[in-house]
Amino acid sequence: MPGLNEGHGHLLSFGKLLSNINLLKTQSWEEIVDSVHQKAKTAPKGIWIEGRGWHQDKWKNSMALKFDNYPYHDELSKISPENPVVLVHASGHALIANQKAMDMAKISIETQSPKGGRIVKDHNGKLTGVFEENAMDLINDALKSVKLDEEAQKKQYELYASIACNEALKYGITSFTDAGSRVDEIFALRDLVDIGKIPLRLNVFLYEDKNSILEAIPTLPIYAKNKSKFRAESVKAYIDGALGSYGAWLLEPYTDNPKVLGQNLMELSLLDSIASACDAYNLQLCVHAIGDRANREILNIYEKHQSNKKRWRIEHAQHIAPEDITRFKQNNVIASMQAIHCTSDAPFVQKRLGYERAKNTSYRWRTILDAGVRLSNGTDVPVESINPFECLYASVTRKRMDNNFEFFPEEKMTREEALKSYTIWNAYSSNEDHIKGSLEVGKLADFIILDKDLLKCKDEEIPKTKVLEVYIEGNKII
């Protein structure tokens, strides 16, 4: 079959995750504290200990959740007094820091939460150590102020990229869309492609902070010498956060947090200016929108720029008011949905949104496809595992693999749709369907050989699929 195309992932963060503490599979706070403890025992004094992937809804023992569904930092501070610790939530929209990290970031009980973010303090004003959305920058800025020199930085990018690519190739991924890298990261990746250090094809979105994004847009497009190997002609922005951390921007309040509507992370006027700039430079715009309010606001903006030729996308498009679905079609907007998010989030979607909204607005692939909307699929790695076969399983069953919990199965994709969503539809979504995404004369010969037929095997066999051989441009890579 054609090589698989990861439609939305984060290459360097994935590489970083593989080299830092991976908490994706942890099932209790104690397990997390223990893995940090192991690292702290051998880490040189003062070095930052970084981890990612914890999710409190996956913890079997919820005794540690002491305030607002979060643990306190105290144990992390006790086991690692000399090393700052920062552990990013699986959603990427919150983190927990220990005392040393907060000291280095000069955070005290007096520090106020920034706009679009929250420093989580308990009723007595004590810091829990948790920072949500834009408040994460307070810790990340301290982390980033540890400056590597240019050479060391390049080496680090190369390390992260090569670890990530090797892992992706094992799963038959021959093309990867990176959903947000900074200008210096884009040039570093492009240079690595040009000297033959990155075996798979990359399509990279530009992401910069609010203050520098408009300035950065004119650096695009950026291509490798061989354009099919590397392209950056898309701009990423975020309008809201994630559902798990109450960051998704909703039309009506959260069912389990009735005072909260979510977070609007970027002013609509700035998003509109970014859209105008993308129009002017003929670039693709890809805005992260999870809540139904966020999706509506972005559709309103896209509608004003209806003439766009670059197949603009909405990233995640998780919760959409039913009346907004046809607007994707009317405005040629791609719904870039990650099927595996549906089954991962399934246990808490109904808690956050209630039954009716979960049913009528959440992960509605079937309805979206039937409305003639273009869809793209992926894993958002490292938010989820990169394994495309687990994601394909979620696409066609909407069932969790651990407990068979099924999330509104009427919205499943067919086998054929799921395979297209990982090949030709993702190629369409990066404006590359004329060169890849199917096995046709004249297209790039990126193809893979699997140990089973994904159109015919039993559902439960899909996640166990093994990749036997991988070819890129006709050359055998694995």
The binding site for Zn ion (CB under 5 A) comprises 179, 380
* Residues of the chain by 3-state class (helix, strand, coil), percent to 5: 40, 20, 40
- Other Cβ atoms within 10 Å of 152 Cβ, number: 9
- Within 8 A by CB and 6+ apart from 443, the residues are 435, 436, 437
Choose between 179 and 274: whose C-beta lies nearer to Zn ion: 179
CA angle 279, 290, 95 (to 5 degrees): 110
Nearer to Zn ion by C-beta: 72 or 249?
249
- Least spacing, CB of residue 8 vs Zn ion, in Å: 6
Give the nearer residue to Zn ion in terms of CB position, either 274 or 289: 289
Helix axes 292-304, 268-280, angle to 10 degrees: 40
Backbone angles phi, psi at 302, to 5 degrees: -60, -35
Q: Are 152 and 172 in contact (CB under 8 A)?
A: no
Map 37-67 to HEC letters.
HHHHHHCCCCCCEEEEEECHHHCCEHHHCCE
Nearer of residues 179 and 243 to Zn ion, judged by Cβ: 179
Q: Rounded to the nearest whole angstrom, what is the least distance from the CB of residue 87 to Zn ion in the complex?
A: 18
Nearer to Zn ion, 179 or 317 (CB): 179
CA angle 381–467–185, rounded 5-degree value: 35
Residue closer to Zn ion, measured from CB, 384 or 390? 384
Nearer residue to Zn ion within complex by CB, 237 or 358: 237
| Nearest-approach distance from CB 380 to Zn ion, in angstroms | 4
For residue 333, the minimal CB distance to Zn ion (Å) is 17
Give the nearer residue to Zn ion in terms of CB position, either 92 or 129.
92
Nearer to Zn ion, 178 or 432 (CB): 178
Which C-beta is closer to Zn ion: that of 17 or that of 179?
Answer: 179
What minimum distance in Å lies between the beta carbon of 136 and Zn ion? 15
Please report how close the Cβ of residue 9 comes to Zn ion at its closest, in angstroms.
Answer: 7
Q: How far is the CB of 179 from Zn ion (least distance, A)?
A: 4
By the 8 A CB rule, do 345 and 384 touch?
no
Cα distance from N-terminal residue to C-terminal residue, the chain? 15
CB of 292 to Zn ion, least distance (A): 19
Tokens, residue 378: 């992926």
Q: Which amino acid is residue 76, in one-letter code?
A: L
Q: Which is nearer to Zn ion, 380 or 390 (CB)?
A: 380
Distance of closest approach, residue 319 Cβ to Zn ion, in angstroms: 16
Please say which residue, 128 or 379, places its beta carbon nearer to Zn ion: 379
What is the smallest separation between the CB atom of 317 and Zn ion, expressed in angstroms?
Answer: 12
Q: What is the CA radius of gyration of the chain?
A: 21
CB 372: neighbour CB atoms within 10 A?
Answer: 10
Long-range (24+ apart) CB contacts under 8 A made by 464-470 are 464/389, 465/389, 467/170, 467/171, 467/172, 470/3, 470/169, 470/172, 470/174
Helix runs in 176-256, H state only: 183-194, 213-216
Taking the complex as a whole, the smallest distance from the CB of residue 377 to Zn ion amounts, in Å, to 13
Write out the H or E segment, with its range, that includes residue 104: helix 99-104
Q: How many CB atoms lie within 10 A of CB 451?
A: 11
Beta strands 447-450 and 375-376, pairing class: unpaired
Helix (H) or strand (E) holding 374: none
Q: How far apart are CA 90 and CA 52, in angstroms?
A: 6
Q: How far is the CB of 241 from Zn ion (least distance, A)?
A: 12
Backbone torsions φ then ψ of 444, nearest 5 degrees: -60, 135
